[in-house]
């Protein structure tokens, strides 16, 4: 897992051309960009621009991917993102090749971080995550976010 500010993203360009392309996209994305799915390099690098209100973590689930690394970037607002190694969890919904996701039961002692505007988090395939959660219980907040799906 990597947690950093978008202003520091050039330090990750050495990870490959898809990383540079993805971070350049985020750097140039207007804050009022519409919610949509954008193929930046076919299915190898996809950006999902989304708006939503944060949720009670009890209504969410942990997920992990096999094909993609997630780069979750907050445009505006804030959310709590829980994370834990996949091997600490019990599968709830088996892996779906079509959706590239395995869903897991919630555990009470997962680590968490508050993501706010300008921050991103990289989540590798062996790191389950539960994003979009409320920072303050019972207080949903509006969030604008981009999830980059980067083929590993």
Mean pLDDT for each 10-residue chunk of the chain (152 residues)? 97 97 97 95 98 96 96 98 94 95 90 97 97 96 98 91
Question: Which residue has 């959660």 as its token pair?
Answer: 133
3-state secondary structure (DSSP) of residue 100? coil
Q: Does domain 2-151 have CATH number 2.60.120.370?
A: yes
Which pLDDT does position 107 carry in this prediction?
A: 85
- For the chain, the residue count is 152
Domain residue limits, the chain: 2-151
């Amino acid at each position: 897992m990597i947690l950093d500010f978008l202003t520091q993203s050039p330090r990750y360009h050495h990870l490959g051309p898809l990383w540079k392309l993805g971070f350049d996209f985020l750097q140039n994305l207007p804050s009022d960009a519409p919610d949509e799915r954008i193929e930046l390099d076919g299915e190898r690098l996809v950006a999902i621009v989304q708006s939503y209100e944060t949720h009670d973590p009890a209504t969410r689930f942990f997920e992990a991917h096999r094909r993609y690394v997630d780069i979750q970037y907050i445009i505006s607002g804030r959310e709590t993102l829980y994370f834990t190694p996949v091997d600490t969890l019990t599968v709830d919904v088996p892996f779906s090749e079509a959706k590239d996701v395995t869903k897991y039961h919630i555990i009470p002692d997962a680590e968490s971080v508050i993501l706010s505007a300008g921050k991103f988090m990289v989540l590798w395939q062996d790191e389950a995550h539960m994003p979009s959660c409320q920072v303050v219980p019972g207080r949903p907040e509006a969030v604008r976010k981009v999830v980059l799906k980067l083929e590993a």
